[in-house]
């Protein structure tokens, strides 16, 4: 009994707490995701800005290179001079319109750096068309988009500054390639004679220029705790800025590959994870869950104690009834004994008296005897219930007839029923000799009938019907009183339950009769249930009654 109540109470406490915790965590998780998505968006925009700054640098460089080319004669000497003078350009190569080499001049002696240059660009010499596949900058205005084969090499025409050139084959662009794990760039331009002039940029100069255009740490520019890294094609950090110090293997919060011609490079963004907010959030949830859990636990404890108190009261009642029953047992035994003695005496004394007188006295005495027998049985049952409930109930099966028991019971109650003006209608169809405990059956019936007498006198009638089928006997006791509400139909079988004070006002009862009746019925291989009927109450008793 104790455990039975403890588990539901625990569930009452734990389920809402668990549900709440889950909901809270879920909410926190969602919130984090929303925040993370927003941060991602912001960071992405920021990185995009950096990419655009780098693109702007390439545009600027492209314009300056075009301007330098426009200013000078495009002869070999002049172009070599350009490579010598310019801080960015380290080598120049020129293809004739037919793809043959013009500069470095074939046949002429090459300086050491030119030899290395030839080596670096050997792929181009065997296939000059590779060069012009390196398209213009993605940001450069274009008159039409031919589409792109890959992200790295776009095939879209016309770079900025070459507006006069009509759409068609690209007039200028960037070619990027890796040599000795270093990214090299060529800016190429188709001159009016349809030659391709390509300027190789010093990787170090390019990088240095890019770095000078990227933000510094410190100053008023970036007070936020972030770190952005420019990472090259081999995964090495080339430049980084921002005051935040990421841990050794920390994963970046966001990553953005750069646009052509730095396509193999990327930007990585680091910042402290949004742990601070999450901690506060989780703390709030835990606090809420804990407080609700505490409140529920308090409530459960209260209910548990209340329930215990009720149990104790019930126990006390049982004890009380037990004691009273014990006290009643001795006088009752005496009453029975003397009633039986009296009966014998009367039989002797009235032997010579008029038959009518003798019969009457005999009848009275037999009622006293039967009633006292019933009472002692009742007391025995109460005592057994009190001791340890059903285990003490025993059946004594014998060959008997159900209808006989009904008749006996009705006879016993006849005077009381008559007094209350209740008419009895018996519909007996269970006359076969079967194995049953007539005392138990009588006790059940007595209980049912006495209930009718006590609570349903207003109905003015009681119907008792019985029938048999195979090994089962069924008895139905029906009245036309106030009936039993559906929700009470099971509870009336619980010990000490009484439907309501309204019904039981001024009526005495122990509240254990139906409980014992049901126990007996179940012991007998059947059941006792309250039936659903239009008016009044109807109890249906089934018993397992094998053929005698």
Partner 1 sequence: MKTFPRLLPRWRHLLQVALTAGLLAAHGAQAKTIDFSASLATPVVQAGKAQSAFLKVALTGFELASQGDRPLANVAIVIDKSGSMSGERIERAKEAAAMAVNGLGSNDIVAILAFDNTVDVVVPATKVSDKNRITQAIYNIQVAGGTGLFAGVSKGAAEVHKFLDKTRVNRVILLSDGQANIGPSSPAELGQLGAMLARQGISVTTIGLGTSYNEDLMTQLAANSDGNHAFVENSRDLVRIFQREFGDVGSVVAQEVELTIRLKHGVRPVRILGREGEITNGVVRLRMNQLYSQQEKYVVLEVEVPAGKAGAQMDLAAVDVSYLNMHSKSKDNLSRAVAVSFSASTEAVAQATDKKVMESAVQQVSNEMGKEALRLRDSGKVEEAKQVMEANSNYLKKQATTLGSAFAPAPALAAMETESRRQAQGLESKDNAEWNVSRKKMKEDQFKLEKQQR
CB of 105 to partner 1, least distance (A): 11
Number of residues counted as binding partner 1 (CB under 8 A): 30
SS3 492: helix
* Contact call for residues 428 and 403 (beta carbons, < 8 A): yes
Is residue 227 part of the contact set for partner 1 (CB under 8 A)? yes
Q: Residues 30, 48, 113, 150: which binds partner 1 (CB under 8 A)?
A: 113
Q: DSSP for 238-307, please give it.
A: EEEESS----TTPPPSEEEEPPTTSTT-EEEEE---THHHHHHHHHHHHHHHHHHHHHHHHHHHHHHHHH
User: Any contact of residue 118 with partner 1 (CB under 8 A)?
Assistant: no
Query: Does residue number 241 form part of the binding site for partner 1 (CB under 8 A)?
Result: yes
- Distance between CA atoms of residues 63 and 55, nearest Å: 12
Tell me how far apart the alpha carbons of residues 229 and 239 are, in angstroms, rounded to a whole number. Answer: 6
Of 57, 125, 239, 350, which one interacts with partner 1 (CB under 8 A)? 239
Residue located via tokens 């090299």: 184
Q: Among 50, 103, 202, 484, indicate the residue that binds partner 1 (CB under 8 A).
A: 202
**Binding of residue 204 to partner 1 (CB under 8 A):** yes
Residue 61 or residue 521: which is nearer to partner 1 going by CB? 61
Q: Show the CA angle centred on residue 414, arms to residues 413 and 419, nearest 5°.
A: 100
Is the Cβ of residue 266 or residue 478 nearer to partner 1 in the bound state?
266
d(CA 54, CA 278): 36
Q: If binding is defined by CB under 8 A, does position 243 make contact with partner 1?
A: yes
Minimal distance in Å, beta carbon 256 to partner 1?
19
Q: Is 179 in the site for partner 1 (CB under 8 A)?
A: no
Is 304 within 8 Å of 9 (Cβ atoms)? Answer: yes
Q: Of the two residues 227 and 463, which places its CB atom closer to partner 1 in the complex?
A: 227
When the beta carbons of 159 and 242 are compared against partner 1, the nearer one is 242
Residue-wise DSSP of 159-190: -TT-TTSPSSS-SEEEEEEEETTEEEEEEEEE
Q: Which listed range, 33-41, 203-211, 398-406, 502-510, lies at the site for partner 1 (CB under 8 A)?
A: 203-211
Residue from 5, 165, 205, 461 in contact with partner 1 (CB under 8 A): 205
Q: Is 88 in the site for partner 1 (CB under 8 A)?
A: yes
- 245-304 positions binding partner 1, by CB under 8 A: 245
Q: How far is the CB of 85 from partner 1 (least distance, A)?
A: 7
Gap between the Cα atoms of 548 and 431, Å rounded = 12
> Which residues contribute to the site for partner 1 (CB under 8 A)?
84-88, 108-109, 111, 113, 202-205, 207-208, 211-212, 216-219, 227, 237-243, 245
């Amino acid at each position: 009994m104790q455990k039975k109540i403890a588990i539901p109470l625990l569930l009452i406490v734990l389920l809402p707490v668990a549900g709440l915790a889950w909901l809270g965590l879920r909410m926190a998780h969602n919130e984090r995701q929303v925040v993370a998505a927003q941060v991602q968006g912001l960071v992405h925009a920021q990185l995009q800005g950096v990419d655009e700054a780098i693109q702007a640098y390439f545009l600027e460089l492209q314009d300056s290179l075009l301007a330098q080319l426009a200013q000078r004669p495009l002869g070999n000497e002049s172009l070599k001079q350009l490579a010598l003078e310019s801080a960015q350009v380290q080598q120049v190569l020129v293809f004739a319109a037919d793809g043959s080499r013009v500069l470095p001049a074939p046949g002429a002696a090459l300086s050491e750096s030119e030899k290395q240059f030839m080596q670096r660009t050997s792929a181009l010499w065997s296939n000059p068309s590779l060069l012009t596949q390196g398209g213009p900058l993605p940001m450069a205005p274009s008159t039409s988009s031919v589409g792109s084969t890959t992200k790295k090499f776009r095939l879209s025409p016309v770079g900025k500054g070459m507006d006069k050139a009509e759409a068609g084959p690209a007039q200028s662009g960037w070619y990027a390639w890796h040599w000795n794990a270093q990214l090299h760039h060529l800016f190429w331009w188709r001159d009016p004679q349809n030659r391709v002039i390509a300027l190789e940029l010093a990787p170090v100069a390019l990088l240095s220029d890019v770095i000078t255009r990227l933000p510094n740490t410190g100053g008023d520019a970036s007070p936020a705790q972030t770190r952005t890294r420019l990472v090259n094609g081999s995964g090495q950090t080339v430049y980084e800025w921002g005051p935040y110090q990421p841990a050794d293997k920390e994963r970046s919060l966001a990553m953005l590959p750069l646009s052509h011609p730095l396509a193999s490079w990327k930007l990585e963004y680091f910042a402290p994870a949004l742990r601070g907010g999450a901690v506060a959030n989780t703390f709030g949830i835990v606090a809420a869950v804990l407080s609700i859990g505490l409140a529920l636990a308090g409530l459960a404890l209260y209910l548990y104690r209340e329930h215990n108190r009720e149990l104790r009261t019930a126990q006390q009642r049982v004890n009380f009834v037990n004691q009273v029953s014990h006290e009643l047992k001795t006088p009752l035994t005496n009453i029975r004994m003397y009633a039986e003695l009296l009966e014998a005496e009367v039989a002797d004394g009235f032997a010579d008296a008029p038959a009518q007188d003798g019969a009457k006295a005999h009848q009275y005495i037999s009622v006293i005897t039967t009633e006292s027998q019933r009472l002692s049985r009742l007391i025995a049952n109460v005592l057994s219930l009190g001791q340890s409930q059903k285990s003490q109930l025993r059946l004594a099966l014998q060959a008997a007839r159900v209808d006989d028991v009904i008749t006996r019971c009705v006879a016993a109650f006849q005077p009381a029923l008559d007094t209350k003006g209740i008419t009895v209608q018996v519909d007996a169809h269970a006359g076969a000799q079967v194995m049953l405990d007539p005392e138990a059956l009588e006790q059940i019936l007595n209980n049912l009938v006495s209930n009718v007498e006590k609570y349903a006198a207003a109905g003015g009638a009681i119907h008792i019907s019985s029938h048999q089928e195979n090994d089962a006997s069924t008895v139905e006791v029906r009245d036309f009183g106030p009936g039993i509400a559906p929700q009470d139909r099971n509870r009336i079988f619980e010990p000490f339950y009484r439907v309501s004070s309204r019904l039981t006002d001024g009526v005495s009862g122990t509240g254990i009769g139906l409980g014992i009746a049901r126990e007996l019925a179940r012991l007998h291989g059947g059941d006792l249930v309250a039936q659903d009927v239009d008016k009044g109450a109807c109890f249906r008793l089934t018993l397992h009654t094998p053929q005698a």
